[in-house]
Chain A
């Protein structure tokens, strides 16, 4: 069991991508452990979303190996769920219809999936809003609905690209605890991009700090403080100061 590959659900080796001769990243390695919360932080425009695009298959990587449970894949298309800053709810569907969409397109058993979605609505405080339309609810509720939909993908790995950055600070805090729920209650493996260092330190088991372009891993922090965490933890505050210095230095 000492083989490190055993623990890693996802392993990215030697990933490279360039646009018009401009290297966004090359030789990038990253490993994500099962049921861990891995957070990526880095200066704006360094290439974090590009890495996710490569993982989801929205773009092709120039080089690199993606290994998923020891299986080599070109992308994670059918193994990961994906959520972004934009909620991407379809305006012509009610919240419940939006949430059930992955089940419908994935040809899952709807009789079985509807109660699952209903439970998630209750859990995320959306009960009573099932038949509302996206334009009728607040940004925080929309993002919670997007979160339900992400869970309805029924995939082990969830990629999150700044999922909460469009929200106000208070809504963000309450949704952060819901993200934590994905890990603790739903046993998901999470890989999240954020600009919010506090968010990274409150949620992450592992936090990667990236450099600006060409993007490489500048530092890796392993956080073993129990969750839910409080930001008054002196260890976390120290890391935060350090990360801020690093990020400012990168600009």
Chain B
């Protein structure tokens, strides 16, 4: 490892140190801004309280990701196979992104209830777009010379898809999926803020109202860890699948 690899860690340490120092020496009350040390302590000590909430949020995110994969992948492939359909659907896709998803969160709670369905739906619509767009542009980026080669070999669309287009698009697909899994937490938490009975977002709202700011931060820490964990997981899967060098 080179010196430059340590810079992020050093930077984080400096920020945490300044934060810790500022809260202690400036005597900022713990219900305004708790020092990192007490956030970590809370995150660990209150784990039995936090864990069920984290599990709820986590399952919302995972379900949202799988729903997004199950819909975005076929849609991207269909739009790729039928450019006319892409032209028809593209405006709707873009429009769906222009709607502030957070603004419809209250409606989703009305429609789908206080349970996890409305949060899964939120996560799903947020992740759906980056996956569809990245996969579609990955499929479209395929080198025309390879397409000619497959056509000359007499390959069917299905064979060309699985042996050429799909592997070709995988790096971009994973880039989209990485964006997706990190923003998925946002969707789930917003959904929980608006109305929920369980989940880290719910816990944050509750603790905030009781001025348990350290618990709010502890929940954020858990959320961050979850998002980071998913991001790393996707990276591991990506490296296992994409072993080739171009």
- Structural contact, B145 and A106, CB atoms closer than 8 A: no
Nearest-CB distance from A209 to chain B (Å)?
A: 27
Interchain CB contact under 8 A, A84 and B244: no
Which of B62-83 touch A at CB < 8 Å?
none
Of the listed stretches B105-113, B155-163, B189-197, chain A binds: B155-163
Which of B11-19, B26-34, B146-154, B226-234 sits within the interface? B146-154
CB < 8 Å A-B pair total: 57
A156 CB to nearest B CB, Å:
14
Q: How close is A192's CB to chain B, nearest CB, in angstroms?
A: 16
Whether A105 contacts B154 by the Cβ 8 Å rule is yes
Kindly identify, within residues 32 to 63 of chain A, every residue whose CB is under 8 Å from any CB belonging to chain B: 56-58
A227 at the interface (CB under 8 A from B): no
| In contact, A135 and B244 (Cβ under 8 angstroms) | yes
The answer to whether B244 and A80 touch across the interface, beta carbons within 8 angstroms, is no
Whether B220 sits at the interface, judged by CB under 8 Å, is no
> A109-152: contact bitstring with B at CB < 8 Å (1 yes, 0 no)?
00000000000000000000000010100000000000000000
Residues of B within 8 A of A133 (CB): 244-245
- CB < 8 Å: which of B156, B163, B245 contacts A101? B163
Q: Is the interface of B mostly helix, strand, loop or mixed?
A: helix
Q: Which of A87-95, A167-175, A240-248 lies at the binding interface?
A: A87-95
Contact B152 A153 (CB under 8 A): yes
| Distance of A115 from chain B, by nearest CB (Å) | 20
Chain B 130-154 near chain A by CB (<8 Å), digits 1 or 0: 0000000000000011101111111
A77 touching B152 in the complex, CB below 8 Å, given contacts A88-B145, A92-B167, A104-B159: yes
Distance of A107 from chain B, by nearest CB (Å): 8
Q: How large is the interface on A (under 10, 10 to 19, 20 to 34, 35 or more residues)?
A: 20 to 34
Report if A82-B152 is in contact (Cβ < 8 Å); known contacts: A91-B246, A101-B163, A105-B159: yes
- Interface size counted on chain B using CB atoms at 8 A: 22
A195 on the interface (CB 8 Å rule)? no
Q: Which residues of B lie under 8 Å from residue A81 when comparing CB positions?
A: 152
Contact of A106 with B154 in the complex, beta carbons under 8 Å: yes
Given contacts A91-B245, A91-B246, contact A102 B153 (CB under 8 A): yes
A78 at the interface (CB under 8 A from B): yes
CA separation between A135 and B242, bound complex, in Å? 13
Tell yes or no: B51 within 8 A of A by CB.
Answer: no
- Chain A: residues with CB nearer than 8 A to chain B? 56-58, 77-78, 80-82, 84, 86, 88, 90-93, 101-102, 104-106, 133, 135, 153
Q: List 6 A-B pairs, minimum CB-CB distance, nearest first.
A: A105-B155, A91-B244, A135-B245, A105-B153, A102-B153, A92-B167
24 CB < 8 A contacts A-B: A56-B148, A58-B144, A77-B152, A78-B152, A78-B154, A81-B152, A82-B149, A82-B152, A86-B145, A88-B145, A90-B146, A90-B163, A90-B164, A91-B245, A91-B246, A101-B163, A105-B153, A105-B156, A105-B159, A105-B163, A106-B153, A106-B155, A133-B245, A135-B245
